[in-house]
């Protein structure tokens, strides 16, 4: 089983020039193909989120695992299309890893976010899920944890 995950990991985009581009909005006609590719890459065991640009699309979307903060081995995916977020609450430092960047990085995050997108409307996340959303949102805005 490890071989398929390694093959997916090898195809994650690591090209910093591509990843630093701000993504463009997803058209309705593109959404199903985008969602399918995001879901495929979320099968990587350690993936708690993946952004479109990490899988080769310079598009404004990402997926997260809603169970990432729970002690379960299954994933429940939530997809975001053309999101905007509002950062709320206290700033704190968080140690993060990324499929597109090497090593661990200490990143500043807020404890709570409010996200609005074309699929889910407005949602609020706290704790680790808020961190994941901020990480993936930064990807589609062209920012990496290795930029600091």
Q: Which residues are catalytic?
A: 136
Which residues, including other chains, have CB under 8 Å from residue 43's CB and lie 6 or more apart? 4, 5, 8
Count of helix runs (H) and strand runs (E) in the chain: 4, 6
Alpha helices, DSSP H only, in the chain? 2-11, 16-19, 31-41, 127-140
- Burial letters 80-104, b for 16+ CB under 10 A, else e: bbbbebeeeeeeeebebebbbbeee
Give the H or E element holding residue 72: none
Token pair in block for residue 18: 């591509």
Residue whose C-alpha is closest to residue 57's, from 84, 97, 29, 30: 30
């Amino acid at each position: 089983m490890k071989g398929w995950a390694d093959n997916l990991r090898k195809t994650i985009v690591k090209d910093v020039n591509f990843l630093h581009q701000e993504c463009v909005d997803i058209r309705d006609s593109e959404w199903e193909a985008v969602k399918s590719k995001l879901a495929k890459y979320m099968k990587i065991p350690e993936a708690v989120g993946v952004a479109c640009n990490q899988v080769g699309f310079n598009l404004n979307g990402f997926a997260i695992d809603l169970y990432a903060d729970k002690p379960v081995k299954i994933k429940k995916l939530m997809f975001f299309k053309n999101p905007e977020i509002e950062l709320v609450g206290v700033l704190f430092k968080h140690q993060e890893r990324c499929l597109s960047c090497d090593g661990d990085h200490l990143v500043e995050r807020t404890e709570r976010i409010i996200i609005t997108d074309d699929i889910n409307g407005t949602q609020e996340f706290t704790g680790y899920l808020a961190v994941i959303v901020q990480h993936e949102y930064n990807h589609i805005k062209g920012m990496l944890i290795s930029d600091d």
